[in-house]
Amino acid sequence: MIYADNAATTRMSETAINTMTELMRDAWGNPSSLYAHGQNAKEVLEKAREDVAAVIGAEPREIIFTSGGSEADNQAIRSAAELGRKKGKTHIISTAFEHHAVLHTLEKLKAEGFDITLLDVHENGIVLPEEVEAAIREDTCLVTIMTANNEIGSIQPIREIGAICRKKNVLFHTDAVQAMVHIPLNVVDDNIDMLSASAHKFHGPKGVGFLYAKKNVRLSNLIEGGEQERGKRAGTENVPGIAAMAAALKEANEKMDENAVHLIKMRDRLIAGLKEIPHSALNGDPVRRLPGNVNFCFEGIEGESLLLLLDDKGIQASSGSACTSGSLDPSHVLLAIGRVHDVAHGSLRLSIGENVTEEEIDYMIKSVGEVVEYLRGFSPLWRDLMEGKKEFIL
């Protein structure tokens, strides 16, 4: 079995599993309690905060633990919106291909009277800093742009965007869920005011994440209650999960350079192999992309059938289209980079893991080629293309 869906979630590392199980036994106290068991849990929690902060160049008090990337995105955007509204600033800038945790929050804010500008991400899936600058207005309170896209892996020029935001005195938030431990990130050097991350994308447990917020950024609560997390996130902390996240983050961060060298080599081999399939195209930028991300469109087929047949061959991957939810809409990310519906439907994302081998890459190339050819054999769309009733795009 080849697991090539690491952008959806990753397997927990042994370090994370061991940390979590040990702490479930040993640090079960409530970190808010003053007796020994509580203080023991509190120490574990604060050590995790220091470790997480160190990885991104933050101070421990700038880290808030959350239930994951979605919550961190929601809290960051809601906080900036509330701060903005107080000053009469109700304009927010983002892109059309953000994660739904960002896009759906922005839709809600729009209904609440905010004005939202979604910037073009161009054919390669990369935002231009000068277009961010041009979009900033007197009433702009937030720019939120992801560090790397979850579907096509394109890496955004966040340092430049952050510098522009600083200059214009606008808050900058970045959803770094996919980028974390795959590319170097430093909140100071990269001019970031707020950053979201999620443990299960870097071999930590699900349901845990964190929000970095620069110390001068006043956060608002999504959850009211006790005084946990400096009053910014009520609820007894998931101490074992948080410690496991910190352990996974530290471990993956230490191996980042080594992993990236291997992943880029494997990624580029996979891309070169899949390019040989006729009427196919890589989605996203060939170079400015995450080390483990490969995303292709194949003309004349449906992504869903491709996935099912690949599963039969022992390859677990993902497609951009959202037919599982009963909708026939293709991925908003592929549409944002200008893929037309027919082409966007035939998409495949292979997000490979650090342990992938050259043999596995070659097996994936061979299997995808076979499955695409097989599916085209009885696809009405492919027949139309072959008979010239429709024009090839790729």
Ligand X SMILES: *Cc1c(COP(=O)(O)O)cnc(C)c1O
**CB-nearer residue toward ligand X: 5 or 302:** 5
Residues in the chain: 394
| CA 122/CA 110 separation, integer angstroms | 24
Q: How far is the CB of 70 from ligand X (least distance, A)?
A: 3
| CA 258/CA 296 separation, integer angstroms | 26
Cα Rg for the chain, rounded, in angstroms?
22
191 binds ligand X (CB under 6 A): no
Distance of CA 114 to the CA centre of its chain: 25
**CB-nearer residue toward ligand X: 99 or 279:** 99
Site for ligand X in 58-77 (CB under 6 A): 68-70, 73
101 binds ligand X (CB under 6 A): yes
Given 75, 90, 144, 150, the residue binding ligand X (CB under 6 A): 150
182 binds ligand X (CB under 6 A): no
Q: What helix, strand, coil percent values describe the chain, rounded to 5? A: 45, 15, 40
**CB-nearer residue toward ligand X: 245 or 372:** 245
Given 20, 44, 119, 177, the residue binding ligand X (CB under 6 A): 177
Residue keyed to tokens 């497609």: 319
Task: Select from 202, 136, 222 the least CA-distant residue to 172.
Answer: 136
146 binds ligand X (CB under 6 A): yes
Distance of CA 351 to the CA centre of its chain: 12
Residue keyed to tokens 């922005």: 106
Q: Is 323 a catalytic residue?
A: yes
Q: How far is the CB of 26 from ligand X (least distance, A)?
A: 26
**CB-nearer residue toward ligand X: 196 or 379:** 196
241 binds ligand X (CB under 6 A): no
178 binds ligand X (CB under 6 A): yes
- Grouping H, G, I as helix, E, B as strand and the rest as coil, residue 255 is coil
Q: How far is the CB of 150 from ligand X (least distance, A)?
A: 4
DSSP 77-140: HHHHHHHHHHTT--EEEEETTS-HHHHHHHHHHHHTT-EEEEE--TTTT---HHHHHHH--TTE
292 binds ligand X (CB under 6 A): no
Q: How far is the CB of 377 from ligand X (least distance, A)?
A: 34
Q: How far is the CB of 174 from ligand X (least distance, A)?
A: 10
List 141, 165, 297, 323, catalytic entry: 323
- Grouping H, G, I as helix, E, B as strand and the rest as coil, residue 141 is strand
- Specify the pairing of strand 293-298 against strand 315-316: unpaired
Side chain identity at residue 283, one-letter code: N
Please tell me the count of residues contacting ligand X according to CB under 6 A.
15
Distances (CA, A) of 335 to 198, 242, 255, 278: 26, 36, 34, 22
Residue keyed to tokens 């020029």: 157
201 binds ligand X (CB under 6 A): yes
333 binds ligand X (CB under 6 A): no
Q: How far is the CB of 201 from ligand X (least distance, A)?
A: 6
- Among the listed ranges 133-141, 155-163, 170-178, 322-330, the one in contact with ligand X (CB under 6 A) is 170-178
Residues annotated as catalytic are 323
Q: Give residues in contact with ligand X (CB under 6 A).
A: 68-70, 73, 99, 101, 146, 150, 175, 177-178, 198, 200-201, 209
